[in-house]
Amino acid sequence: MRILPVQYQYANTQQYCYKSTTTPNQILSTKKQIYSQNISFGGLFDIFKKKEKVFYNEKEAARVLEDCDISKYWQQRVLLCLAQKGYFDDGQYYKSIVDTFPKLKQDGFELDKIFQDNCSRSFTPESFEEYTKKLYMVKDLGYPYKFMDCVIKSNLPVKDLKNLIDVRNEGYKQRELLDYASYSFSDDEIDELFFENPNRTVNTMKILGKKDFIHTFAQKYDNVENNIDCIGGINTKHPLYESLLELTNPTESAKYLKNQAKIKELKSKFNEVEDKNELIQKINELTDKNKNLVSQSIKDPVDKVKLAHIFAALKYDKSPKLRYILKNCNLKTRDGQNKFNKLINNPIRQDENGRICYQLNFKNSKYLLNLYMADSDFMANYKVLLSNINKYAQNRTIAQMFDSMPMNENTKSQFKKLGLNYNVWAHFNPNSKIQKEVILKNENLAQSVIDNIEQDLTSDYFNDSIPAQMTVLKNIMVENGFELRKQNVANYDEVGEFDGTKNVVKLFKNGEHIKFEDLSLLIKIISEVMNTEKSWTAKDSESVEIAKNTLRNHLASRKTEMRSIAKDIDDKPMQMTVRKVDMNNVEYALFLGNHASCCTAVGSGVNQWTAPIYVSSKMISAIEVLDGDVPIGNTMCFIAKIDGKPALVLDNIELKARYQYNDEIRDSIIDYAQKLAKELGQPNMAIYAGANRHKVNFENFPLDVETFKIVGSSGNAQMYFDFDTDAYDINGKDVFEAELYKIR
């Protein structure tokens, strides 16, 4: 953390109590106990029964509960419970509902789930009866019990519900398309893919067409999931939605359907009119219009997906560029595809003033789409970067332009005073690298995912930022057999000698160390808690929301890691290269987070906003790892002044799942860091690593609190640092204090 005067704000602690101490509401637990102990529906009833066994009528019980400081949701759950247990000697409101329970239970419905689904909103016996009719309808269509409520809430017409079941069934039949080489998705996982958000799935199917949506299964589960999330989120009331349909699925467009309705109407009059030729002419004209719509549409499913993603990325853009892209979309020929890529390349490289930055070209970048999916904070910093390039790099290279910026002149001056070669640090040397062959061991890969989840669940950041939410999560994990336990393990010093023991927290399943095959269930449980528990779904302060969303992003990364490992479980060699990143290659360096699947990934990372700052501020650099010529991980790095001397700090080593916790990769990164120190002019310079989120094992390296200054300047811009999981503007003067691993 930065050692500066900081004012902290603490949220007021709310004491939960009841308005009256004489009414029967004393028999209920406090609201605080309900949430902290995760008391279930049945648990509420047990509390009621233990305290006082009396019979109430419905109205009196409802009045008592209204005096309690608990939500309508909990009030209705208690009333239903009392009615079910026969506590009411009169009243028909809740009793008439519970009278339907025996048949529902006999037919396989989970009553507690129905309580939960209905108590989340106000309901009447009439609305409950309507709800049960819909339950039987979706059951007859073949929907699994788990997803019946969200399907009912979707209010989709029966036609769409039938199509949705058809697509799920195709998912079962063509499972091998969704599967990875050594990982087959279960029926539950395929159900979750299509039914978790039925409206989005149906909208994706409508935009792409049912047949072409099924065709995308070949892109594998993760990409189908991303398509549903992104394309399915397009608003059907968007003013250009119909224009999109005319290109991707014209037979579902309003224009096509209107023509078809007119054709049907005209045909119905065929026997009523004398001049049939005129009628036939009108029918043919309308038929030709529809044929023309179909002929001008996109046929390639991949191109449909591409256009739909661009539409989704630009859906809130008020400029005319989306309309222009749709109007000029021609993907039938190679020339048309090149023109389209150029077309979508230009809007994404416009600076703050709308000028195109011609020095950059993302036309052939695999991450072009990510730029369209980037959040507003990234775009703000990105457009400043483009403006600076447009303004200052007209008659010189981008590297020269960066060097001339005042903040980088400041960094260069500070480097010189410390005897460090700024040019080595700020510029790329293709000959500065380490290369070797490394064997990737499968057992290490599986353990890496377990280690990552353990780190997520024990992280001080999450447990301090969202303690109530983490408590609820861990309690529900325990109910399902998953537990975090302290364990005493051997500790070894930096040279590998025994150095006593230490306590670590490890994951257990039913009393045994968790196995890789248990992770799918654990992640499913965590996802359900995050999506359904009130403490997780309720809106909170900005800092709490950031912490919750960060953990959600981490969970998504764990899913990706699991599937990545499952694709290829055999040991395999890699031709590894470790080198310093060319940070002046903007089209490349912007996407370092994407290379390593970390929080700065453009288009998905919670800290993606910092990527343009990393590129433009030369006080920061990066070391990367490549498998062949494919980037698979990196670490941002900076120079710090520790004990009056310069030191190289590796902020956080991020690696893709298959490459994590490999000691050979770790040692090669350290070897290159030593090589870089020598090239900078300080061969004996100390090397440290931050304490957070490394995807290599630093357990046997000493970890101590260090006081230091970061060398260089970021101007007025803040940048993200993993050593403190926070953002700072750097001026070369502020003092920081943080735990760092001593590498040498």
Give 718-729 pLDDT, tens digit per residue: 999 999 888 999
Per-residue pLDDT, averaged over 52-56, amounts to: 48
Among left, alpha and beta (phi > 0; psi -120 to 50; other), residue 163 is alpha
CA dist., res. 639 & res. 585, Å (int)? 21
Would you say 487 and 505 are in contact if contact means Cβ atoms under 8 Å apart? yes
Residue 643 has pLDDT above 90, yes or no: yes
| Nearest residue to 582 (alpha-carbon basis) of 399, 719, 435 | 399
Give the position of tokens 């993302």: 362
CA dist., res. 52 & res. 61, Å (int)? 13
CA dist., res. 530 & res. 540, Å (int)? 14
Residue that wins the pLDDT comparison between 7 and 621: 621
Strand partners, 739: 705
Average pLDDT, the chain: 81
What integer pLDDT is reported at residue 85 of this predicted model?
64
Give 165-210 as a 3 state SS string.
HHHHHHHHHCHHHHCECCECCCHHHHHHHHHCCHHHHHHHHHHHCH
Predicted TM-score (pTM) of this structure: 0.59
CA dist., res. 633 & res. 529, Å (int)? 31
Residue 118 has pLDDT above 80, yes or no: no
Residue 9 has pLDDT above 60, yes or no: no
| Nearest residue to 60 (alpha-carbon basis) of 33, 93, 108 | 93
Per-residue pLDDT, averaged over 186-206, amounts to: 93
pLDDT digits 0-9 by tens, 312-356: 877 766 556 677 777 777 666 777 777 777 778 888 898 999 899
Domain 572-742 has CATH 3.40.50.2300: no
Per-residue pLDDT, averaged over 128-151, amounts to: 86
Under the banding of pLDDT at 50, 70 and 90, the label for residue 496 is very low
Can you list the alpha helix ranges (DSSP code H) found in 330-466?
334-348, 368-373, 376-392, 398-404, 406-417, 422-426, 442-458, 460-465
Per-residue pLDDT, averaged over 665-669, amounts to: 95
What integer pLDDT is reported at residue 27 of this predicted model?
38
Q: What's the length of the chain?
A: 744
* Sequence-ordered strand ranges (E) for 566-702: 572-580, 620-627, 630-642, 645-655, 686-690
What integer pLDDT is reported at residue 645 of this predicted model?
95
pLDDT digits 0-9 by tens, 389-448: 998 887 899 999 999 999 999 999 999 999 999 999 999 999 999 999 988 776 666 777
Type of residue at 664: E
> Measuring CA to CA, how many Å separate 252 from each of 194, 199, 485?
20, 16, 55
Would you say 706 and 740 are in contact if contact means Cβ atoms under 8 Å apart? yes
CA dist., res. 256 & res. 292, Å (int)? 10
pLDDT digits 0-9 by tens, 520-577: 888 888 888 888 888 888 877 777 877 887 888 788 778 777 776 666 556 678 899 9
pLDDT digits 0-9 by tens, 571-614: 678 899 999 999 999 999 999 999 988 889 887 777 889 999 99
All residues at 6 or more sequence positions from 502 whose CB lies less than 8 Å from its CB, including other chains = 488, 489, 491
Domain limits, CATH 3.40.630.30, in the chain: 572-742
pLDDT digits 0-9 by tens, 206-254: 999 999 999 988 878 877 887 898 899 999 999 999 999 999 999 999 9
Residue 72 has pLDDT above 80, yes or no: no
> Measuring CA to CA, how many Å separate 319 from each of 312, 315, 351?
14, 10, 14
Type of residue at 307: L
